[in-house]
Amino acid sequence: MAAPIAVAIDAPDIDTAARWASEVAPHVSTVKVGLELYLRYGPEVVGTLRGGNKTSVFLDLKLHDIPATVAGAARSLARFKPSILTVHAAGGREMISAAVEAAPQTTIAAVTILTSLDDAALADIGISGPSGDAARRLAVLAVESGARALVCSPHEVASLRAEVGPDVTLITPGVRPLGADHGDQARVATPEAAYEAGADLLVIGRPITRAPDPGAAAASIAAALRRVQAASA
């Protein structure tokens, strides 16, 4: 059974992206396409990464604009059948609702607080913290607006689960195996800790894609998660 991992395919070119997706596909449920790769290759990259694999494609484009513009973008993107599409919760109720209505067959995931932001960074942009409280406020707004998934730091998973209940999918970036470089992430956790806290889908990029063998790295993390699942069953 594929592990609940979305591998962030932040590749320098489409051939490398396709290779990484193929190598990790036997071990993970999802591959994630970010803004840079999508802007470079457009819709072609969705079909290329999906290929003949059974992995889902997660379009992490973080739409954030007026409701009509986001609705149009979500409608256009829905044609490529992504399983998940992200919008910024900070876009507000009407914008989130517009995305949900425009792409009814796609799970709209609202990004709460970027995992690269700490409390000081939030204060700089005028968002009252601490980050956990800000994420919780945005999570409630997003779910009330129709979002069926939330993107949050592993640190906020437990509190958001208590706030929004069991039926909302919680997606956590900022996941790093023990000893891995944190890169530009400020609020991180290990895959095991994120899963045990209640995350449904773990976003992991560089610890897998920058490994000498991405497939083996994905398999190793997937095996660790299966051990946690077995222990909690």
- Tokens of residue 97, six digits: 């609702």
Alpha carbon distance 106, 89 (integer Å): 16
- State the SS3 of 144-213: HCCCCEEECCHHHHHHHHHHHCCCCEEEECCECCCCCCCCCCCCCECHHHHHHHCCCEEEECHHHHCCCC
Other CB atoms within a 10 A radius of the CB of residue 89 amount to 29
Alpha carbon distance 134, 113 (integer Å): 7
The yes-or-no answer on residue 81 being catalytic is no
Give first-to-last CA distance, the chain, whole Å.
15
Give the three-class secondary structure for 56.
strand
Give the three-class secondary structure for 72.
helix
Q: Which of 32, 54, 62, 81 is catalytic?
A: 62
| Active-site annotation, residues | 62
